[in-house]
């Protein structure tokens, strides 16, 4: 299918527009919004505050870090995986300046599709929220 093939009904008015035309319309709408924001004048007494910089994983601030390891089955094939994952994170945390390891949480033989049976994962989330 080419970009000129009609694909989408243009907001219910019965006109079909091409993908290329729809992209152009979207970009036009975005530009209108940008222009409106740029051309907005605040009241003279308005005070502006800079946003606080958000911490980043690679900045120099100290970080308390945790890891979560999991394998989905208790099969012998995955035994080495559940043993190697904490080793990897312990080394990674130790080699990274300003990182302090809080804890490594681990669930073995737990499916990743639900949190219901993943006790260590739930504990990690609870600890992070505290």
- Shared domain for 74 and 19, answered yes or no, is no
Contacts of 56 by beta carbon, 8 Å cutoff, 6+ apart: none
Same domain? 26 vs 74? no
Residue 45 dihedral angles phi and psi, to the nearest 5°: -85, 5
Burial class, 98, CB count within 10 angstroms (exposed 0-12 / middle 13-18 / buried 19+) = exposed
In a domain, 115, yes or no: yes
70 and 14 in a single domain? The answer is no
For residue 113, the domain's CATH number is 3.40.50.1390
Token pair 């890891």 is at which residue? 67
- Give yes or no for residue 5 having a pLDDT over 60: no
122 in the same domain as 67: yes
Q: Does the residue 122 lie in any domain?
A: yes
Domain of residue 96, residue span: 63-129
34 and 78 share a domain? no
Q: How many domains does the chain have?
A: 2
For residue 55, is it within any domain?
A: no
pLDDT at residue 60 tops 70: yes
Residue 2 pLDDT greater than 50, yes or no: no
pTM: 0.53
Spatial distance between the Cα atoms of 65 and 124, rounded to a whole number of angstroms: 11
Looking at residue 10, its pLDDT comes to: 47
- The neighbouring-strand residues paired with 18 are 6
């Amino acid at each position: 299918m080419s970009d000129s093939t009609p694909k989408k009904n243009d907001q219910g008015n019965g006109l079909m527009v091409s993908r290329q035309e729809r992209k152009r319309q979207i970009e036009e709408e975005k530009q209108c919004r940008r222009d409106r924001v740029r051309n907005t004048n605040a009241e003279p007494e308005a005070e502006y505050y800079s946003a606080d910089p958000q911490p980043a994983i690679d900045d120099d601030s100290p970080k308390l870090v945790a890891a979560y390891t999991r394998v989905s089955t208790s099969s012998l094939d995955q035994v080495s995986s559940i043993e190697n994952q904490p080793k990897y994170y312990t080394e990674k945390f130790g080699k990274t300046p300003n990182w302090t390891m809080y804890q490594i949480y681990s669930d073995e033989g737990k499916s990743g599709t639900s949190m219901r049976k993943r006790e260590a994962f739930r504990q990690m989330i609870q600890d992070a929220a505290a």
